[in-house]
Each structure stands twice: as structure tokens, then as C-alpha cells.
Chain A
Amino acid sequence: MIRIEHIGMTYDKGRVVALQDVNLEVNKGEIFGLIGPDGAGKTTLFRILTTLLLPEKGQAWVNNYDVVKDYKAIRNSVGYMPGKFSLYQDLTIEENLNFFATVFGTTIAENYDLIKDIYVQIEPFKNRRAGKLSGGMKQKLALCCALIHKPDVLFLDEPTTGVDVVSRKEFWDMLKSLRKEGITILVSTPYMDEATLCDRIALIQKGSILSVDTPEGIVHSFSGQLYAVHGQGTYHLLQATRGYEGVASCFAFGDALHATFKPGAQGPALQAYLQSKGHSDARVDPIKPGIEDCFIQLLNQ
């Protein structure tokens, strides 16, 4: 559904590399996640795929249309929800939706089925101006507007940034129901926990794709055993753990430390070492890695 081949892009006359030889393939009807920190190049890739930016190198196809040559066809068949809320704040919910429907030559009634589940949640406020809506409602309206012309592909650029946990969960539920309609969804997010909700993900960093796989596949590809280190005084504990020569990597992770070992070293030995260093409550347990652990490992390779 989306095919990206050797896409490269720079800003400031080549001084800033935004994308570097990016290759990706997104299948029809899947939710594909683009996971990476701020500044990784996610938005640039979205803007190229939605025909807002011309790539410097490489080629890309959306729905079998070339992003450069067939931009008109793409604009008719994709929905785009930019990271920044970009609907008309001085128009009401209904006016915004109506406007985007008519611009695509359709009506709200025609594709109401597609947006119904989302629209009913904001319908009580349909006469309220978009600028006066809460973050979650804005996001739902933006999704409705991106869907109103029944696109084949939906591009969602950081749709959940700045949205509360409950709304985020609701939002992902909505995406799952859209997938049932056969819509291909490319979604970017800086939140690793959302990665597991995608069918497949690509980890992106500094303009390059590090890995593409299913979330399980990425987790399986983690090399070595991961250990969690618990104990009082995270900072000193981190210093002490990093000081142990058998440790390959160690990062703070919430209230724990995640560590991997060089070949030969073992968890119990580290625990004994830490306790000897005065961290009497230190505990080292083997754990299953998450997406973020994989991401950090890939970054360090």
C-alpha cells in the first residue's frame, strides 16, 4: 500500500540530514507504527508521503501512485492528520467537518458510517468552535476530518501527543476499528508503549530506519538476557552498576535499572557486588525486554 525506496531528504542546504536512505513497505489494511524520538525524521517522511514535500532522493508510492508525479491522485485518496491541530479554530465542529467533506466532493451523510463511532462522541458540541475544544475532542474532530472522504490510507502524525491516557487508549481502539474497514494506517508516535498496539513497527532514529518488524519480532530480536536492578537511590545504584566490569549497558528505566551483561557475567554476581558496595537492598532479576529496551540496544549498536 505504501512503498518507500531510498528516500533521502536534507534541510538547510544539506547541513541537516532529515532522512537517509529510508526503505519501507506498508501492507494494505495494517496499522504500521513509526516509532522514534523527536527529530528522528517522522514528520518529514509523513510530509513526503502526503505530497507536501518533494523528496530529494529516492521514490515512494502511496496506493500505487507516485508521490511526485501522481500527487493529485494521492491527495484524493489519503487522509492526513498533522501533529499540530490544524483545523479552522474559528469554525465550529460541524462547519469544519462539512467544509472538508465538500472540498473532497462528498458529504457528511455519505461517509457517516465510517466516522459515526467517533463523531457521536463530539456531536453534542457540534456548534462549538474548534478552538474552544479540549485536546481529546480536537483530536477526534481532526480524525473525523481526515476520514470524511473515506481515504484508503490514513497518515497520523503523532496523534496522541499531548492527549491524556484515557483518550489515548480510546484513540487506539478507534484505529483498530478503522483497520476493520480496510483502511491502511501509518501512525507515528514517540511513545514506546503504543508501539505494541501496531501490527508492525519501524524504529527510526536520526533519519534512518533501525529495524522493521512486528512488535513481538522486535522484542524477540533482543540479544542477550535483560536484567532489572531494583534498589534505593537510583542515581548511585546506576553509577555502581555501570562501574561493574561485567555490565555491557545499563539505563534508568522508571524506578528500576535495565542492564545487560557481557558474555560470562551473571545477575547474582552483580547483586553480590552491589550489596558489597553498600546497596544492601539491591535486587537483580531477569526480565523480558520491551520495545524501548530493543530501541536502546539498536541505538547502541
Chain B
Amino acid sequence: MRTLFFLLEKEFRQLLRNRQLIRILFIAPMIQLILLPLAADYSVKNVNIAVLDQDHSPTSTKMIEKIKSSGRFRLTGYADTYKQALAMVEQDKADLVLQIPLHFERDMTRENVGKLYIAINAIEGTKANLGGAYLSSILNDFNEDIVTESGPINPSPNAPQITVVSSNWYNPHLNYNLYMVPAILVTLLTSIASMQSAFNIVQEKEKGTIEQINVTPIRKYIFILGKLIPFLVLGLLLFSMGLVIARAFYGIIPLGSLWVLYGSATVFLFSMLGLGLLLATYSATQQQAMSLAFFFINIFNLLSGVFTAVDSMPNWAKTLVETFPTSHFIKIMRSVVLKGSDFHDTAYHLGAMALIGLVLNTWAVLNYRKTA
């Protein structure tokens, strides 16, 4: 234990002496955490729409007004022909084309049926999908308005109607920041924890200092602990900084207790640092460690449900994601921050992370051979 203390003293001294690294480690994530949530927002605004109004009736004008006033769309122009409208899509001026055919109003009032045509530019998948969906829902609303207005004249069929009213629990206004900021913080911790611990050990290999350590009576697991603890402390500091930024810039105040957050963060860092230490035992140079770490970080950050829901992934992917500490911690973070979950609620994810961490760290200690 005394040896561990001296190792830690040495590690912290070296870490604090590397000013440039400390600066990068704190400033870079800070900038990312402030900027990324602003941009990583799924709510689609400013969908450019071109309107081809061949009807020129009060109804069509009203419909266009309704679309314009929704705030989601930006009317980029009126086209006279369909060809013209399509040209606007080709020139990237419009994402959507709404065609209101001739006699639309007449057909609506006489035959109770009006047909509209929507063309969607599907190059940007999300925008196209959501833009189309928004437009459909606006048109639905509009349709209901017409039905209500013209109710007495054209009584609607007496068929039973299902009305669905949804309310968003835990995040009533679907505020994306509430949802994204905690997840982005987790992805930042993922990369820093696994990379820095890996680089630190590999650096000792590259500089040869590990040889000198290896001929001393220092035990393997003490050496690994000596590397793990400083980065655990660093990770928790970064985590705290992240919570402060979430509060200061996004007004996010976790509903749950800080104990749960910090407890989970510690277990999470333990598992991610274990990954870094393990990668280090397989790498001879920092370049190798970097390449290996990138492989895992990319997969962890993309598949762990930051942007896409894990539930909608194929089964094999879901099983795979179960082994990602990042995914578990994102779930914990979101539920603690938004829902106020306690240790009991997060027990499954905490246990999973602890197990993963235990496996990775044990593996790292076993694979770090002093004799090779």
C-alpha cells in the first residue's frame, strides 16, 4: 500500500507538470459540451418548401398561410410548373414541393375529397422524413379545420374516430438539451478515460521507463492501480465540470441525487479506464493505442443510444450494446437527470458496468506481464 502511495505521488506530479495536456483535457471537452448540444438537435427547423399552387383558391391560400405560420417551414418560392418546382429541388433551394392541383377547392367542397401531392428531397434522410411528417400533420390539422368549419353543410360520416392525445413525461417540452447534454458528456468521458489511460502506459513503454519499473518489486496490480486512480480522479473532475456547464449553459439541474450520479460515474470510469489499460497492454506504441482506442470509442459513441435509440436496433446489436459501459451510463445519466432515478432504479446498469469493469481490469492486469 505504501508503494501505491508513492506511485500515485509520482503520477500526479507528472500529470500536473504536463500543463499542456491538462489544458487540452479540460478546455477541449468544455468547448465540445457547450457547442455540440446546440447543433445536435433532431427537431427539424427551416425546411425549405416550394409551393406549386395551381388552384389559386381561398382554401389553397389559407393552407399555405398555415404552413408558413407553423414555424417549421421556410417558403422559398412559388413555382408555376412542376418542372420549375423540381428544378428548385435540384438546385437545393427546396427540400419539399407541395403541389396543390387545379380544382382542389372545388373537389374538396363537392366531392369531399381533395388530393395534394408532396415531393420530398430524400438526400438528407432525417430532414426529409421529419419534414414530410410535419407537413402531413399540418395538413391533417388543416383538414380537421375544414371539416369543423363546413360541418353543418357536409356532416362528417358517423364513423367512430380515435383521437390520440400524447403528453411527454419527464421532458414535457421535448427539450433536446435535457436529453442530449448528459449523453454528450458521457461520450466525452468515454474517449478521455479510455485514451488517456492507454496513452499513459504506452508512453512508459515507448520511453523505456517501464523496464526500470519492471525490475523493481512493484506488484502488477499495484502498478495498474497507480495508473487507474489518477485518471479516475481526472475523470470525476471532468464530470463535475460537465455538470457545471450543463447547469450554467443549459439550465439542467439533475432531478436525482448527486450521489447516484457520482457513484455511477465512478463505476463507469472504472470500466472505461479498464478498457484503456487493456488496450495499452496490447500496444507497443501510442499510435497503435490510438488506433485501437478509436475503434472502440467510435463504436461506443455511435451505438450507445446518443443519437439513435438502442431499442430500434437489430437484436444482435442490442446484445452487443449491453456490453458497452457507455450505453449503460447514458441510460443512468438520462434517467437520473430527467427522472430523478435512485440507486435502486439504476442497479441493473450499475451492476453491468461494474461487471464489465471488473472483467476489463482483471484482463489488463493478467495481460500486463512484467516478464515480457
B and A form one assembly: yes
Which residues of A are in contact with B by a Cβ distance under 8 Å?
50-54, 71-72, 75-76, 78, 80, 82, 84-91, 95, 99-100, 102-105, 145
Across the interface, name the chain B residue whose C-beta is closest to A54: B371
A/B interface sample: 10 pairs, CB < 8 A:
A52-B215, A52-B370, A54-B372, A75-B216, A82-B211, A88-B209, A90-B17, A95-B10, A102-B6, A103-B3
Q: Are B217 and A75 in contact (CB under 8 A)?
A: yes
Q: Quick check: B217 and A76 within 8 Å, CB to CB? A: yes
**Complex Cα spacing A50 to B371, Å:** 9
- A86 interface neighbour in B10, B14, B207, B370, Cβ under 8 Å: B207
Query: B208 touching A84 by the CB < 8 A rule?
Result: yes
Partner of A95, one of B13, B209, B212, B370: B13
B1-30 to A contact mask, C-beta < 8 Å, 1/0 = 011001100100110011000000000000
Could you tell me the distance between the alpha carbons of A50 and B213 in the complex, rounded to whole angstroms?
Answer: 12
Say whether B218 faces chain A, with CB atoms less than 8 Å apart.
yes
Q: B140 CB to closest chain A CB, in angstroms?
A: 66
Within 8 A of A (CB), among B206-227: 207-218
Inter-subunit contact A86/B371 (CB<8 Å) = no
Give the interface of B toward A (CB within 8 A).
2-3, 6-7, 10, 13-14, 17-18, 207-218, 370-372
* Interface pairs A-B: 5 shortest CB-CB: A86-B208, A102-B6, A80-B215, A84-B208, A86-B212
Let me know if B371 and A71 touch, CB within 8 A: yes
Q: Which of B209, B217, B370 contacts A87 (CB 8 A)?
A: B209
Closest to A95 in B: B13
Contact A82 B217 (CB under 8 A): no
Q: Most chain-A CB neighbours within 10 Å: which of B6, B212, B371?
A: B212
Q: Secondary structure of the B side of the interface? A: helix
B13 cross-chain contacts in A, Cβ below 8 A: 91, 95
- A residues near B216, Cβ cutoff 8 Å: 75, 100, 103-104
A53 partner, pick from B18, B207, B218, B372, beta carbons under 8 A: B372
| Contact flag A103-B6 (CB < 8 Å), given A53-B372, A71-B371, A90-B14 | yes
15 A-B pairs besides A90-B14, A103-B218 with CB distance below 8 A are: A50-B215, A52-B211, A52-B371, A76-B217, A80-B215, A84-B208, A86-B211, A87-B212, A90-B18, A99-B6, A100-B212, A103-B3, A103-B213, A103-B217, A104-B216
Given A72-B217, A75-B217, A104-B217: A91 in contact with B10 (beta carbons within 8 A): yes
Chain B residues lying within 8 Å of A78, measured Cβ to Cβ, are 215
Residues of B within 8 A of A76 (CB): 217
Cα A103 to Cα B372 in complex, Å, equals 21
Given contacts A71-B371, A88-B14, A91-B14, contact A51 B218 (CB under 8 A): no
The answer for the CA separation of A51 and B371 in the assembled complex, in Å, is: 6
Q: Which residue of B lies closest to A131 (CB)?
A: B207
In the complex formed, the residue of A with least CB distance to B215 is A80
| Bound Cα distance from A50 to B254, whole angstroms | 54
A82 neighbours in B (Cβ, 8 Å): 208, 211-212
Write the chain A residue with the least CB distance to B212.
A86
Chain A contacts of B372 at CB under 8 A?
53-54
Tell me the bound Cα distance from A103 to B209 in angstroms: 14
Distance in angstroms from B203 CB to nearest chain A CB is 10
Shortest A72–chain B CB gap in Å is: 6
Return chain A residues, CB-CB under 8 Å to B208: 82, 84-86
Known: A54-B371, A88-B209. A99 touches B215 (CB 8 A): no
- Inter-subunit contact B207/A145 (CB<8 Å): no
| Smallest Cβ-Cβ distance to A82: which chain B residue | B211
Residues of A with C-beta under 8 A to B215: 50-52, 75, 78, 80
- Give chain A nearest CB distance to B314 CB in angstroms: 41
**Shortest beta-carbon distance from B196 to chain A in Å:** 16
| A142 nearest CB neighbor, chain B only | B212
Q: Cα distance A82–B216 when bound, in Å?
A: 13
B-chain residues with CB within 8 Å of residue A105 when the two chains form the complex: 2-3, 217
Whole-angstrom distance between the alpha carbons of A113 and B372 in the complex?
34
Q: How far is the CB of B305 from chain A (nearest CB, A)?
A: 40
Tell me, in angstroms, the Cα distance from A53 to B371 when the chains sit together.
5
Instruction: Collect the chain B residues with CB atoms within 8 Å of residue A99's CB.
Output: 6, 10
Shortest distance between the CB of A40 and any CB in chain B (Å): 20
Q: Taking the nearest CB of chain B, how far is it from the CB of A20, in angstroms?
A: 21
Chain B residue contacts of A86, Cβ below 8 A: 207-212
Q: How far is it, in angstroms, between the C-alpha of A50 and the C-alpha of B215 when the chains are bound?
A: 7
Whole-angstrom distance from the CB of B8 to the nearest CB of chain A? 11
- Complex Cα spacing A260 to B246, Å: 84
Residue contact B217 to A145, C-beta cutoff 8 Å: no
* A75-B218 Cα distance, complex, nearest whole Å: 9
B15 to chain A, nearest CB (A): 10
Task: Say how far A205's CB is from chain B's closest CB, in angstroms.
Answer: 25
A145 surroundings in chain B (CB, below 8 A): 212
- Contact residues in A for B14 (Cβ distance below 8 Å): 88, 90-91
Residue of A nearest to B3 (CB): A103
A68 to chain B, nearest CB (A): 9
B34 CB → nearest A CB, Å: 31
Contact residues in B for A104 (Cβ distance below 8 Å): 216-217
A residues near B214, Cβ cutoff 8 Å: 52
CA distance A95 to B16 in the complex (A): 14
The answer to whether A89 touches B371 (Cβ under 8 A) is no
The complex places the Cα of A82 from the Cα of B208 at a distance, in Å, of 9
A71: chain B residues within 8 A (beta carbon): 371
Q: How far is the CB of A103 from chain B (nearest CB, A)?
A: 5
Q: Could you tell me the distance between the alpha carbons of A51 and B370 in the complex, rounded to whole angstroms? A: 8
Among A71, A103, A105, residue most surrounded by chain B Cβ atoms (within 10 Å): A103
Distance, CA A72 to CA B219, complexed state (A)? 9
CA of A72 to CA of B209 in the docked complex: distance in angstroms?
19
CB distance from B214 to the nearest CB of A (A): 6
B208 to chain A, nearest CB (A): 4
Report the minimum CB–CB distance from B372 to chain A (whole Å): 7
